[in-house]
Structure 1
């Protein structure tokens, strides 16, 4: 018994000694290598465990390790991670993290389907904006475009100035020809390729990064990336516990409040993240551009083991806002805030042009590490868009200054009773053009590393889409009913994004038009890449089948039920390849080439999408895009890096559809001609050639400077033809060939831009930043349905933005104060044009925010 007692005593002493030895206390201070300042919130993790901590406001950390020796990994979003060995209790002193271009810490889930430039060794022309900069620049009364506008060959049009109405152009191509991906999920409209940024007002709050890939990009999907690809990397369930509350105010009564919380990962591998916010303003800058909206985000992550990682999220940004179209040059000169679509009602300011939409998005990501060499990444997604835009139907009454006189309209309508196109006295209503859709999809990618040099990818892209389009009455403005085509409707539906989810007109209550379309898409893609220390070579291909079918219901012009159209199938494909050569650690050259055979959009398939089941005859062919680009990356010293890019993109056999007629010679009809038609231009060819240079310079440890220069020559070439269809009957009424556009410059976009930005750490916790961008060589639109001549240029202009950030402690937590001034020098000028008129820059705007992080 005595021996047993002695043995147990020895065992107990050994166990306690082991425990004592197994734990160590490791300390250090994490420094931002960019600004030589403490880096609060950096992650410190004992390698191979879930044991970790974060740095405090002064960059300090203390970690009680589980082992007596080992390694700790220190990381921060947007910075290169550092791994440091420890042995016993140790003070590691200052540990510097330097900014880098990798997004390893940003992509928590879905790394296999989120096509970022870092995932391929062969470079592309790319600019990445990370969460810290997004939060500083894009969280208030500015739009998503403001986040990425300071990028070579990127032009962001104000689009009238309403909240979310901006338009994005990359290398001269609009957003219908620039692919936008949300966590690997394509979000360009299936019908016409457009991006409605108002549907994504919440992106600035939930994005970990936005990456703009100019030109061919790194995406493996068979998508419409003629100009480039915008990858929005949305946050998943956060790995770290904490949250924040933010209050923001801006010009014209703008107010926004946001709250978020992350539970962190628990012992069973679960993590939850939440975000809610609300914003409102009585206008953006121009009159009648009021707005209000919310943003919600919920995400749950689950990591049962090291091989599987799941994340489910749902997000949406319901909103409504008043809109404003392009104006005449004379109107802008007289009053740049003028907007002809608004007026006063008993409830205050209202507009006949109101956009309202709610688009919940849901997706489920699964990352599966099959073995050391293979992994599979998939995202299953769904979205349900509900809402549309309002506009006039009937006769307007205006005040002497050109605004809508709603009081006079209601008095006139009250005397009429029932108005409509079936009545001699039509009256006035506000109709809503509804664009409801349901969209389901799957993107999946299998990756296999044959060895350390050779990588193979293969995947699939499947989409199922149905869109319903009709008009309903939003406001009778004193009428008791509205009569069209022998049917009188008496029900109205509020233009509200929350109500639009479930409350919209039945078929018997719809006016003007009512139709649906079904678009099914099946694609496969693959990539093979070889790389070593000196060279990298890749080849990529994708093929897809897309089917279109239209179902027409009530049409006020005929009263007929058109039924279902013939189903049209189109096959498209793309091929891309490239190579890079590393001359030495400071110099690299690369070359990429690609060819796309792209299916036409649904809106270009039917002779009149609203009123006809007839396919355009002869059938619309695929569009052909050929691209070449070359680049040279170099580093002069540790403080200066730069990159040159050259691109040549040829777009052939393009189809363009536009409202408004043309004469036999291809020139526009007289504006007084009251004839509604749709014009299809065929065989439009464009060639976009340009060069870009951008750089990063860190002359001191407290100052960083970025800059770029981009210059393009974007022209039409060759001849094209057109067919014109009567909107009322769908009949072909006009056609012509041999429309000569050789040498005509593409209008409406600045073809030359230059920019310079700087960020400086003035004192501890205080930094200032600013950027200046020049826009030039912008050709005016000739005002016709066809661009057949150049009629001069928009005057060059320069815009400047400035910001300030101050962080201070509150106990163990932090408070951040941020202020922004946009268009600081109040440069109000014409920015660009479309065929209907001109857009002007918004004048000076501002916001200030206070964020409490815990």
Structure 2
């Protein structure tokens, strides 16, 4: 009996020791499940991963302990468990925080307006750069620098000066890539262009930048031929705290920033403010600049259903500029040579530059109508003031090419009537822009959702020139104003970044041109998305109407100052589908068609009141295929695309024998195809590896037709130019990149990014035989150390050092001519030195200290 009793007790003990319990739960990033996330019982090899719905079941032999939840790109989370009653423990929903910032925490306002890829289940080709990486790596550069490690993105123009960079996406320039700030369009309504000097503070206020290559997820009728870039700014912080930082860099760069947030009070109010100042001499000669950023955000959560946020931000700046030159000039005087200025009264004075102040305000209202329906609305406005600095008259130069102000002043003082032979001027580009975007979202069924909304904008631009420095003369004589003959201009105006808001020339003191334009825009959009199990599909559509008017007070008498009003209609349609084939992979396919209205500057000929009768909507057709793989150690995406852009028409007019003739370039089709790959891997707990590759083939297809017509639109001549197969320039068609971040010990890490650029052609337009630039490599590196300065992670000191172009690679970043090499001309790495362009920046560095409290 005792034997049986002992045997039974021993069996029960062994059974208890090896009993298997089940731990269940759901893993999410706050906006959706994290398929492939890993769950392991700490100190054991017992592990599992979650399914596509984020659910997991883990079997363990332990009665109590901890599970560690991990997913690449997110911070690990440790959860305790204890089998007190029963053999199953449900841990509920476990939310992992992103290692940079959660997307759902990034978007705290305008949640229905900001078209992030996470808001739609059907995938797109997308890359997201979050606040931590922006703060660490942007340094002294424009916000565009954060996008350099992205497939099919090429950044150039940094050599021009602070704020003069530009990007191309899949080979399409900035005027064919859409840029959105918290869901509101910011491309210029006249020409689609964007100037980063107007957004010099973006790196200070951005919570994230999301680059949607190709069709993207935006529901608006925007110019996203190449892609869509979403800038999501900070809003009113929910907790009290702030930071102060100081940064220094090469060429006497210095920057200070301070921010504070009150946190949200019990009554639902909160305020966040940030101020920064920067200044520096610039990498190239004569490219100094300075400016500020201000940011004020006031939030009010009225109740659980209504959330309001008011935001005001601006980045007043002024900077000198460098222009592209012949390579032979750089070879003679050095790669930092810039002859756009000279010495006046013992100090350097640039004759070329830019100054601008563009306050932007928006009011967001998020309304949760029911559990299934919500409404998001943003009312926004911007008031741009400023322009470019330049010269008028014939420049006198010194022997080494600089502006000879002494000689100019002497010539002006010797002028018989006191009129200036040479002066400094501003080309003023002021504007006022008001808009509203509203989006209604509802769940029609468990699997079907609907988005629909409005996009309304009105824009007025004002353009003229004014004198800034008469350089010893009494006045400037303007002989071409139709309404003020032989106008003597005595007044001068500054380029101060603050005074430009209110202090600029009146009509009497404007010269060369004085006109304004008004553009009104109205659009409606909608999206249906169906999602069930492993399948999702969507359809988007938008319809827009634009009206254009132009008033010219300079080149026309009063009866002809008002140009003919022009109206046009545009639309787009996009659709796609996705299928998850297993727990860690999914395929998708998207297609879209755009009928895009011509820009304002192409509607009115030669910047005059004459309407271009030959403009028509441009046609864009985009096709995409992709596959995404996600597991515990690796997340990767591969995308293939084909984009056709055609029916572009540009027209100029000239007077011949008192009759008007029209020269039309009926634009050749551009055909862009390519494949992209990007991945993030975590082979070791303290090692992150990233990489990308993009191989494109961007060509002109067919012929370019140049037609001359008379006043009655009769064809005088027509020339067909074969450009079929000619390479599209201005962006590298093949790029590769590899990056790594290694945490040597807790809170101390090093990182490096290597990039290779190839198949870069000159920006010389549609030509049959374009000039290919030499390949080049860039290596950037950085060191970060975080010191805890209190009892919580909130109080800390972050030290960061960046070195860009570590090996001081000498490379040509862009050319605007395509002069072939021959046996007699001088060459640089096989490139004829008569070509005009820029060298890229050499080695640069920056160091910052940031105190969080």
Give the TM-score category using the shorter length: 0.7 to 0.9
- Following superposition, the deviation at residue 84 of structure 1 comes to 6.8
Q: Shift in Å at residue 658 of structure 1? A: 9.0
Equivalent residue, structure 2, for 1:621: 616
**Deviation at residue 561 of structure 1 after TM alignment:** 6.9
The residue that corresponds to 1:670 in the other structure is none
CA distance in 2, matches of 1:34, 1:817: 31
Cα gap change, 1:34 to 1:287, in 2 (>3 Å): farther
- Aligned in 2, Cα 1:850/1:719: closer, same or farther, shift over 3 Å? same
Q: Are 1:752 and 2:750 matched, yes or no?
A: no
Change over 3 Å in CA distance of 1:348–1:519 after alignment to 2: same
Residues 638 and 383 of structure 1: is their aligned pair in 2 closer, same or farther, counting only changes over 3 Å? same
Shift in CA distance, 632/390, structure 1 to aligned 2, threshold 3 Å: same
**2:592 aligned partner:** 594
Cα pair distance change 1:385/1:100, threshold 3 Å: closer
Given that 1:655 and 1:681 are in contact with CA atoms closer than 8 Å, whether structure 2 keeps it comes out as yes
Give CA deviations for 1:227-269 in whole Å, capped at 9, x if unaligned.
0000000011111110111000111110000000011000000
Matched, 1:698 2:682: yes
The whole-number CA distance in structure 1 between the counterparts of 2:77 and 2:562 is 61
So what's the TM-score if we normalise by structure 2? 0.83
What's 1:827 paired with? 809
- Is the Cα–Cα contact under 8 Å of residues 35 and 760 in structure 1 kept in the other structure? no
Conserved? CA contact 2:523–2:544, under 8 Å: yes
Cα displacement (A) at 1:788 = 2.4
Distance 2:469 2:706 in 1: 38
Q: For residues 217 and 658 of structure 1, what CA distance do their matches in structure 2 show?
A: 34
Deviates more, 1:256-265 or 1:678-687: 678-687
Cα separation, 1, equivalents of 2:277 and 2:565: 43
Q: Assess if the C-alpha contact under 8 Å between 1:419 and 1:427 holds in 2.
A: no
Other-structure match for 2:292: 294
Residue matched to 2:551: 551
What's the CA shift for 1:742? 1.1
Tell me which residue corresponds to 1:787: 766
1:761 aligns with 2:740: no
> Quick check: 2:269–2:300 contact (8 Å CA) kept in 1?
yes
Q: Could you say if the C-alpha distance between residues 244 and 720 of structure 1 is closer, same or farther in structure 2, counting changes exceeding 3 Å?
A: same
Contact 2:244-2:850 within 8 A present in 1 as well: yes
Contact 2:158 2:840 in 1 (8 A): no
Instruction: Give the corresponding residue for 2:843.
Output: 844
How far does residue 720 in structure 1 lie from its aligned partner after superposition? 2.6
- Do 2:677 and 2:692's aligned partners in 1 also have CA atoms closer than 8 Å? yes
User: What CA distance in whole angstroms lies between the structure 2 residues aligned with 1:85 and 1:489?
Assistant: 79
User: What displacement does 1:412 show?
Assistant: 2.0
1:326 paired with 2:320, answer no
CA distance in 2, matches of 1:313, 1:261: 15
Tell me the secondary structure at the aligned position of residue 136 of structure 2.
helix
CA distance 1:34–1:208, shift in 2 (3 Å): farther
> Any idea what the Cα deviations from partners look like across 1:549-569, whole Å, max 9, x if unmatched?
1001013xx777741111100
Partner of 1:716: 700
Shift of 1:78: 7.6
Contiguous gaps of at least 5 residues in structure 1:
1-32, 37-73, 421-425, 664-676
Instruction: Report the alpha carbon displacement of residue 774 of structure 1 after superposing the two structures with TM.
Output: 0.5
Separation in 1, partners of 2:341, 2:696? 39
Cα deviation, residue 816, structure 1: 0.9
Deviation at 1:738, TM superposition (A): 1.8
- Partners of 1:75 and 1:233 lie apart in 2 by 26
For 1:383, the equivalent position in structure 2 comes to 382
2:458 is the counterpart of 1:472:
no
Select the residue among 691, 694, 705 that pairs with 1:707: 691
| CA offset digits 1:682-714 (Å, max 9, x no partner) | 232100000001111111000000001101110
Contact 1:714 1:746 in 2 (8 A): yes
CA distance change for structure 1 residues 528 and 80 in 2, over 3 Å: closer, same or farther? farther
Deviation per residue, 1:745-768 (Å, 9 max, x gap): 112221000001111111122111
Mapped contact 1:101–1:128 kept (Cα < 8 A)? no
For 2:199 and 2:720, how far apart are their aligned partners in 1? 42
Find the counterpart in structure 1 of residue 447 from structure 2: 453
Q: Name the SS of the counterpart of 2:605 in structure 1.
A: coil
Question: Who is 2:643 aligned against?
Answer: 649
Equivalent residue number for residue 62 of structure 1:
none
- Give the 5 Å matches for 1:412-561: 412-416=411-415, 427-485=421-479, 486-555=486-555
Change (3 A) 1:418 1:248: farther
- Residue number in structure 2 paired with 1:243: 242
- Alignment partners' CA distance in 1, 2:427 and 2:251: 29
User: Structure 1's 431 and 251: CA in aligned 2 closer, same or farther, altered over 3 A?
Assistant: same
2:749 and 2:784 in contact (8 A); partners too: yes
Corresponding residue number in structure 1 for 2:302: 304
1:35-74: CA deviations, max 9, x gaps? 99xxxxxxxxxxxxxxxxxxxxxxxxxxxxxxxxxxxxx9
Pick closer, same or farther for the CA change 1:189–1:809 going to 2, 3 Å.
same
Give the total of aligned pairs. 746
Query: CA separation in 2, counterparts of 1:135 and 1:820?
Result: 11
State whether residues 35 and 701 of structure 1, in contact with CA within 8 Å, keep that contact through their aligned partners in structure 2: no
SS at match of 2:413: helix
Alpha-carbon distance between aligned partners in 2 of 1:752 and 1:106, rounded to the nearest angstrom: 32
Call closer, same or farther: CA 1:304–1:490 in 2, change over 3 Å.
same
Q: Deviations over 1:783-842 (max 9, x none)?
A: xxx532324310000111111111113344211111111111111211122248212101
Counterpart-to-counterpart distance in 2, 1:701 and 1:506: 65
Pick from 617, 633, 641 the counterpart of residue 628 of structure 2: 633
Change beyond 3 A, Cα 1:75–1:235 = farther
Structure 1 stretches of at least 4 aligned residues deviating more than 6 Å after TM superposition: 33-36, 74-78, 80-87, 558-561, 723-726, 731-735
1:340 aligned partner? 339
CA–CA separation in structure 2 for the residues paired with 1:654 and 1:218: 25
Residues 540 and 509 of structure 1: CA distance in aligned 2, closer, same or farther (over 3 Å): same
Which one is further off, 560-569 or 348-357? 560-569
C-alpha distance 517-536 of structure 1, shift in aligned 2 (>3 A): same
Provide the rounded CA distance (Å) in 1 between the counterparts of 2:717 and 2:361.
45
Matches within 5 A, 1:182-193: 182-193=181-192
CA distance in 2, matches of 1:553, 1:634: 60
In structure 2, distance between residues paired with 1:75 and 1:184: 32
Report if the CA contact (8 A) 1:554-1:560 is conserved.
no
Quote the Cα distance in structure 2 between the aligned partners of 1:721 and 1:492. Answer: 46
Is the counterpart of residue 392 in structure 1 residue 391 in structure 2?
A: yes
Check conservation: 1:608, 1:725, Cα contact below 8 A: no
Select which of 779, 782, 807 maps to 1:800.
779
Q: CA offsets, 1:70-125, max 9 Å, x none?
A: xxxx99998479797999xxxx9x99756599611110111100000000000000
Q: Distance in 1 between matches of 2:289 and 2:249?
A: 13
Are the equivalent residues in 1 in contact too, given 2:221–2:542 (CA < 8 A)?
yes
Work out the CA distance in 2 between the residues paired with 1:81 and 1:732. 72
* Alignment partner, residue 48 of structure 1: none
Which residue does the alignment assign to 1:18? none
> In the alignment, is the contact (CA less than 8 A) between 1:641 and 1:697 conserved in 2?
yes
Contact 1:418–1:482 (CA under 8 A) maintained in structure 2: no
Cα distance change, pair 97–237 in 1 and its aligned pair in 2 (3 A): closer
Cα deviation for residue 638 of structure 1 reads: 1.4
8 A Cα contact 2:72 2:634, kept in partner = no
Instruction: Name 1:231's counterpart in structure 2.
Output: 230
For structure 2, the 5+ residue unaligned runs are: 1-35, 40-68, 83-90, 480-485, 818-834
Provide Cα deviations, 1:182-218, integer angstroms capped at 9, x if missing partner. 0001000000000100100101011000000000000
